[in-house]
Amino acid sequence: MTTIEKKIEISNLEVRYGNKEALKGISFDIYRNEILGIIGPAQSGKTTLLKVINRMIEFIPDVHVKGTVKVDGEDVQTVKSVYQLRRKIGMVFPLPVGLPMSIFDNVAFAPRTAGMNDQAELDVLVERCLTQAALWDEVKDRLDSLGTKLSGGQQQRLTIARALSHKPEILCLDEFSIAVDPVTTMRIEDVLKELRSEMTIILVTNLVHQARRLANRTAFIFNGDLIEINDNKVIFSDNPAEKMTYDYINGNFG
């Protein structure tokens, strides 16, 4: 019998921005080497959840967090090094934000910061990350060109390559395809399917069918509440546990 190993444990997580509740005491686990889809309307708390996991939430003024988030059994709020935590967790945001440097240096930036200075080692790592992000063949002859000169879809894949450069155990994607054409979106989705064997992936998306295509399980969050989390075959069936889930997935509201 295969044992399902918990990678992230979320317990009674509450988040407030001032007096506004963003998450209302949600609890669930995320398993090692799964793709977890997170769906729900805008302002439901999906992005807030990602920011709590890697403690980017601390950059927001007047935020209050209660409850616990554990990664590999360790409370993220009490880890010895927040930098080590963030190296473990790669983040990809809705709009690609390229660093004002070459394609090569975009990918090599985090490893260099962590102390990797051997050029041969960096060459191998950059090629590996760009290949994983389905970008290598398009840029291998112009690695010295500015990353910000790439097309939108290429810049988003460069962002993914950069997120992979520090060999994360968890990859968080927040609406990665919002500014990417459908063909590029499908290429990135193929990449994510391959990466699932190497890491845990959390996919926040407003595209219900994207979660259906990619995820092992999907969580539906609405207005800060966790309405339902289950295997995709249940969530996207004609009979999920909650009628609200069925209504949202079928476009009856949202």
Here the CATH number for the domain that contains residue 19 is 3.40.50.300
Structure confidence at residue 254 (pLDDT): 57
Structure confidence at residue 135 (pLDDT): 92
Residue-averaged pLDDT of the chain: 93
Q: What is the pLDDT of residues 10-37, one digit of tens each?
A: 999 999 999 999 999 999 999 999 999 9
**Does the pLDDT at position 155 exceed 80?**
yes
Structure confidence at residue 94 (pLDDT): 83
Residue 204 and residue 215 in contact, taking contact as beta carbons nearer than 8 Å: no
Structure confidence at residue 216 (pLDDT): 96
Structure confidence at residue 3 (pLDDT): 66
The pLDDT-based confidence of 220 (bands split at 50, 70, 90) is very high
Overall average pLDDT of the 118-122 stretch: 96
Range of the domain at 174: 6-101+146-249
The domain total for the chain is 1
Structure confidence at residue 182 (pLDDT): 87
Is 60 inside a domain boundary?
A: yes
Is 207 inside a domain boundary?
A: yes
Is 135 inside a domain boundary?
A: no
Q: Poorest-confidence range of 110-119, 220-229, 239-248?
A: 110-119
**Does the pLDDT at position 95 exceed 80?**
no
Cα distance between residue 162 and residue 133, in whole Å: 9
Is 83 inside a domain boundary?
A: yes
Is 132 inside a domain boundary?
A: no
**Does the pLDDT at position 1 exceed 50?**
no
Is 203 inside a domain boundary?
A: yes
Is 108 inside a domain boundary?
A: no
Q: What is the pLDDT of residues 185-208, one digit of tens each?
A: 888 899 899 899 999 999 999 899
Is 193 inside a domain boundary?
A: yes
The pLDDT-based confidence of 114 (bands split at 50, 70, 90) is confident
**Does the pLDDT at position 2 exceed 60?**
no
